[in-house]
Structure 1
Amino acid sequence: MAEKKVSTSRKNQIKSLMLQISQTILEEEAREAKREKIRHMEENCPSVSIPGTMPDLQELCRKIHKQIDLLDEERYDMENKVNKSDKE
């Protein structure tokens, strides 16, 4: 069988076309993956809803910080009691 010889320029042209085609396929796969990720997030993750206005949120933060301070004081007192009893 006689095989046709392909010129170097034709080989380079074919390689270039193959690379272009594969690049477009990869780009489309990336876009599809991004769409799939967005769809999955919309289905499985609820949207963040913060009820109330800014002053309400600030008041909530103040209350939470007060609770944290109280718990820290209690923890400190308990730690001191434990250390004192360990020394005795």
Structure 2
Amino acid sequence: MPEPERKSKITASRKLLLKSLMLAKAKEEWDQEIVDKQAEKERYLSERVTPLHTSGLSLSQLQDLCRELHEKVEIVDEERYDIEAKCNHNTREERPVEVGDWRKNVEAMSGMEGRKKMFDAAKSPTGQ
């Protein structure tokens, strides 16, 4: 005797309401995550980057400051380029290699056909 179809214990309107509540909660958490990331970025930059005090500097002192900042930017840009080049190289060189099923090879060599192939290969003048 076939089993009667089970009806869902939750109505379609209830499902829709729960789905919209879940989406609203996810949106709220996503927005909070964006705010948290921005606050973390500002905190990190305030720790790492000292504010520039340019008031009261002469023209030559401002030019020296610009040269110093330019040298720092060049160093960081070179490091960024080197890291990017390494990443691109690894991406090109370290592609996932398609690995076959090793059992197929074992099964093929385990029977008489596999042994015959090995024997014939050893007997052939080219060794192949």
TM-score relative to the length of structure 2 = 0.39
* Matched residue type, 2:10: V
* Structure whose residues are more often helix by fraction: 1
1:31 aligns with 2:48: no
How do 1:56-71 residues align onto structure 2 when only pairs under 5 Å count? Answer: 57=58, 60=59
How do 1:4-83 residues align onto structure 2 when only pairs under 5 Å count? Answer: 4-52=8-56, 57=58, 60=59
Query: SS at 2:26's partner residue?
Result: helix
* Matched residue type, 1:47: P
* Matched residue type, 2:35: R
Question: Hey, what's the Cα distance between the residues in 1 that align with 2:7 and 2:26?
Answer: 27
Query: SS at 1:13's partner residue?
Result: helix
Question: Hey, what's the Cα distance between the residues in 2 that align with 1:42 and 1:48?
Answer: 12
Larger CA deviation: 24-33 vs 3-12: 3-12
Q: Which runs of 5+ in 2 are unaligned?
A: 1-5, 64-128
Query: SS at 1:48's partner residue?
Result: coil
Q: Runs (4+) of structure 1 moved beyond 3 Å?
A: none
- Number of matched residues? 56
TM-score relative to the length of structure 1 = 0.55
- Give the alignment's Cα RMSD to 1 decimal: 2.1
Question: Hey, what's the Cα distance between the residues in 2 that align with 1:8 and 1:49?
Answer: 63
Shift of 1:4: 4.0
Shift of 1:3: 6.2
Which protein has greater RCO, CA pairs closer than 8 Å, 6+ apart? Answer: 2
